[in-house]
Structure 1
Amino acid sequence: MIKKGIKRQIVLHYFLVVFMALLLVEIIFLIAIRTYYYDTVYNHIQNHIRLANDFYQPFRLPNSDNVNQLGEMLRHFDLDNTELQIVNTSGRVLTTSTGFDTQQTIASSDFTQALAGDTSRWVGRDPGTGQIVMAVSQLVQGGEDQYVLRYVTSLEKMNNKLMNITLFAISIGAAVLATVLAFSIGLANSIVKPINNITTVSAQMAKGKFDVRIKGDYRYELGELSSTLNYMAQEIVRSNQVKDDFISSISHELRTPLTSIKGWSETLNVGGYDPEETKLGMQIITKETDRLIGLVEELLDFAKLQQNEMKLVMSSVNLKELLQEIILNLWAKAEQKGVKILLESEEKPVIHGDANRLKQIFLNIVDNAVKFSHENGVITLSFTMEEKFVTVTVRDQGIGISEEHLRRVKDRFFQVNPLNGGTGLGLAITQQLVELHHGSMEMESVLGEGTSVMVRLPLPEGEPPGA
């Protein structure tokens, strides 16, 4: 079974188009073959009736009795491998070439149309034998009376032959579909494999591995896409180099004003200079300070646009004690809004992590819960223990987040309401810190009802869930 994706869609669509076209062709072909065979039988009987009638009419015996008349008609109109029935205009069979069942009454469509002067046929199941037969009827003049000549021939052999042709056509169709399926899979692979290669390399680039490149001489749009991604990675590497050069350069830029400030500060601290010289020194210090402020502001703006690497100081951390400490830190802020923070768990999970960074994670989450809770609301903290993970859930009954904003709330610099202040980096940094601890963070929210934040962290291997 081909898994869902572009490959499956290509194979499925290509296969369906060919299948529907082949099915239509086979149906038309089989209908045409059946019609041809049936028409051949019908035309043969019809021509025989016409030729026999042309020969019979000039030489028929006008004054012969009914029995001789019927026998004479049977001899003239008889046809091999076909039963000939002579039927009166009332539908009663008077005699047959086989001599069987002469008491039956005919009421099929071929008989009724023959009475109207047309040569007609009827295909159906014979009530006596149960076989599929074709009946061809025509009205002829026999002496002073009119009779209907009804030829009945079995179609069993013909239908068996048609069935063999049908099975052969189905076999050919199945072989064609198998070939088409193999061809479509090959065609899909020629498209999907380059896409999978490009996707894999792009995922590595998204994780910061900009030294990887898409290899392969792809043509047309895929070649343009791979060239664009390789160019993008090259430009990012170049930008990182520019950033490193900038940091090196800015360090030198910082050293110059600091040296001036330190030198004049030491000089002025000694004293003994006239007011003009002191004023000049203070002006230089002020100027260099303004320059430092400008440089620092540029560094801060630059830092907001970069992804910083952090080193964790790992140790055993009791999550329950950590959350109790966070509750105490936010107690005063929560008390001002009348918000209660409850820790609803008796578990004492111990994990391996950086205590300060874990505190930063949950402090930010609980602080947001307090900030966006209604007055006199309740915030609950709880643990869910698994075999190898512990999930900390922070649930509030606050204003909630819309579905549109929930998808972007962990993006850098994104704020649901910019008027609330902040940089919009809190949850983005929290997400990165959780990932550094090999965990995950999920959020669920209903606008107007509240928000739940689930932080899932790994437990130390070989240790029980609670310690």
Structure 2
Amino acid sequence: MVSIKKRLVVNFVFIIIITVVILEIFLISSIRQYYYKNLEGTLQNQIQISADLYHRYFSDATLQDNILNNVDTFWKQATAQVEIIDMEGRVLMDSIGVTPGTANQFEDVKRALAGETGKWIGDVDYDTEKVMAISYPLYSGEMQVGVLRFIASLRDVNKDIVRIAYVFIAFGALVTLITGIVSIFLANTITGSLKEVTTIAEKMALGDYYTESKKKNNDEIGKLSDILNSMAKEIVKKEQLKNDFISSVSHELRTPLTSIKGWAITLKQDFEDRSILMDGLEIIEKESDRLTLMVEELLDFSKFVSGKVTLEIKPVDLVKVLQHIKTQLTPRAIREQVDFKVITDKFPMIYTDENRLKQVFINLLDNAFKFTASGGTITMDAKQEDESIIILIQDTGCGIPIEELPKIKEKFYKGKSSKSQNGIGLSISDEIIKMMDGSLDIQSQVEKGTIIKITLPLREVV
């Protein structure tokens, strides 16, 4: 595995090398142009002085006569090789003794024959280095009589350029070395924090959720530390809720099972007292119903967690649903001496899952009955507001402490009241309402009661 530190250092050094190489190419190219430009300027000044000298003092004689009598005047004033070319392109004189020939194949000579100053850089047979040639027209009066050509070897210029290039390359290598070392320290500042966060994450992966990642900087790594700490706290919280849930479910399962087993042993004694027999069977039936309800809630919860629950959406007459709920729970209200009211209005059909909606209502009302003492009131009021249906379930029970309200809909959460059960029912109800594209909100005051507000859309859930 290639470490992030190594990748960072390699990337840093690669970027530095590319930058230095581009910069050095630009600088060396600029130096080369500067030196060539200086040489070109020097040759042009010298050749122009020589051409002006010819025009002023030697133009009365022919070009051939001046070559024979005054040629020293041209090359003794110049450091470059001097050639004199006639209008036919023939080399009449060369200061270094090169065999005369034709020179009209060179670009600088062609331009000079046309009356302009010409420049050419290229290879010649008598030198291993490139040369620079400047050609200038010679005039006798108003008439051009030939071309004066100065040729300079680029050997010394190229040596100076190479020497400067070596200096630049050495400096670039030094810069690359220094910045490479600096990049290692910079990489350490990044990978050091990452290594610490990775160590903490490994501890959390092994189950140590109480360890904490220390945030050093307010950057992405600092944000990662915050996320790890938040995740660990959430896991600890869920773990505690799960343990509480298991403890609660175990206790609640043990109670009906103990009753069922106790009465089963009693009935095995073959009592002839029919009243005792009926009492025992009735208790076994009720406790079995309690077990069935708990198992159904657990199965529902498992389906919601795994995402296997789907709603059967169809038009539902909410008024009929509420009337059914009233009919179903009125006997319980009478038995427990609670004033149970259901207030409805005329509503259009809503699109939802009727059975799941009944499940929610029965679950919420069951909680209301559990926490409302005899003589209390439970009201279920449904009304339409704009494009929504609002159902309010209000009781005059013991209420919920303010510190428990934010947690009351969490999975596995069980309130401190002795009547609180496994904490699944309210969580399932909230999930069902969310799937119906609605909301479930709870308001409560201790000793005053609780109000549950369910909001459902009239439109069809997509």
Shorter-normalised TM range: 0.5 to 0.7
* Aligned-partner Cα distance in 1 for 2:213–2:144: 95
Residue 176 (str. 1) matches residue 182 (str. 2): no
Identity %: 37
* Aligned-partner Cα distance in 2 for 1:302–1:50: 101
2:80 alignment counterpart: 82
1:422 alignment counterpart: none
Residue 102 (str. 1) matches residue 99 (str. 2): yes
2:263 partner letter:
W
2:30 partner letter:
A
2:50 alignment counterpart: 52
CA contact (8 A) 1:94 1:102 kept: no
Aligned match of 1:132 in 130, 133, 138?
130
2:162 alignment counterpart: 163
| 1:260 Cα offset (Å) | 2.1
Residue deviations 1:337-372 (CA, integer Å, cap 9, x gap)? xxxxxxxxxxxxxxxxxxxxxxxxxxxxxxxxxxxx
2:244 counterpart SS class: helix
Q: Identify which of structures 1 and 2 has the higher relative contact order when contacts are C-alpha pairs closer than 8 Å and 6+ apart.
A: 2
| 1:58 Cα offset (Å) | 2.6
- The TM-score, its normalising length taken from structure 2, stands at 0.57
2:225 alignment counterpart: 226
CA contact (8 A) 1:119 1:137 kept: yes
CA contact (8 A) 1:70 1:95 kept: no
CA contact (8 A) 2:51 2:136 kept: no
Distance 1:59 1:263, change over 3 A: closer
| 1:36 Cα offset (Å) | 1.4
* Aligned-partner Cα distance in 2 for 1:147–1:65: 8
2:32 alignment counterpart: 34
* Aligned-partner Cα distance in 1 for 2:266–2:275: 14
CA contact (8 A) 1:70 1:86 kept: no
Q: Which runs of 5+ in 2 are unaligned?
A: 306-462
* Aligned-partner Cα distance in 1 for 2:213–2:61: 103
Distance 1:240 1:65, change over 3 A: closer
1:25 counterpart SS class: helix
Residue deviations 1:70-119 (CA, integer Å, cap 9, x gap)? 44244146434311111222232222233x12323323211111111111
CA contact (8 A) 2:107 2:120 kept: yes
* Aligned-partner Cα distance in 1 for 2:42–2:271: 139
Bigger Cα displacement from structure 2, 281-290 vs 65-74: 65-74
CA contact (8 A) 2:74 2:82 kept: no
TM alignment of 1:44-443, pairs within 5 A = 44-60=42-58, 62-63=60-61, 66-76=64-74, 78-98=76-96, 100-106=97-103, 107-141=105-139, 146-215=145-214, 217-272=216-271, 274-295=273-294
| 1:7 Cα offset (Å) | 4.2
2:49 partner letter:
L
1:270 counterpart SS class: coil
Distance 1:64 1:258, change over 3 A: closer
Distance 1:61 1:193, change over 3 A: closer
1:81 partner letter:
T
| 1:140 Cα offset (Å) | 0.2
Over aligned residues, Cα RMSD in angstroms?
A: 3.2
* Aligned-partner Cα distance in 1 for 2:274–2:281: 10
Bigger Cα displacement from structure 2, 220-229 vs 180-189: 180-189
Determine which structure has more spread, i.e. the larger CA radius of gyration.
Answer: 2
| 1:246 Cα offset (Å) | 3.1
* Aligned-partner Cα distance in 2 for 1:243–1:65: 113
CA contact (8 A) 1:78 1:84 kept: no
Distance 1:272 1:292, change over 3 A: same
* Aligned-partner Cα distance in 2 for 1:305–1:195: 37
CA contact (8 A) 1:78 1:97 kept: no
Residue deviations 1:140-190 (CA, integer Å, cap 9, x gap)? 025887121111112111101100111111222222223333333333332
* Aligned-partner Cα distance in 1 for 2:61–2:228: 104
* Aligned-partner Cα distance in 2 for 1:65–1:156: 32
Distance 1:73 1:273, change over 3 A: same
| 1:137 Cα offset (Å) | 1.0
CA contact (8 A) 1:10 1:188 kept: yes
CA contact (8 A) 1:84 1:96 kept: yes
1:208 counterpart SS class: coil
2:268 counterpart SS class: helix
Distance 1:160 1:274, change over 3 A: same
* Aligned-partner Cα distance in 2 for 1:241–1:145: 107
* Aligned-partner Cα distance in 2 for 1:197–1:304: 39
- The TM-score, its normalising length taken from structure 1, stands at 0.57
* Aligned-partner Cα distance in 1 for 2:208–2:199: 12
CA contact (8 A) 2:134 2:150 kept: yes
How many residue pairs get matched? 303
Distance 1:252 1:68, change over 3 A: closer
2:247 partner letter:
S
* Aligned-partner Cα distance in 1 for 2:271–2:59: 164
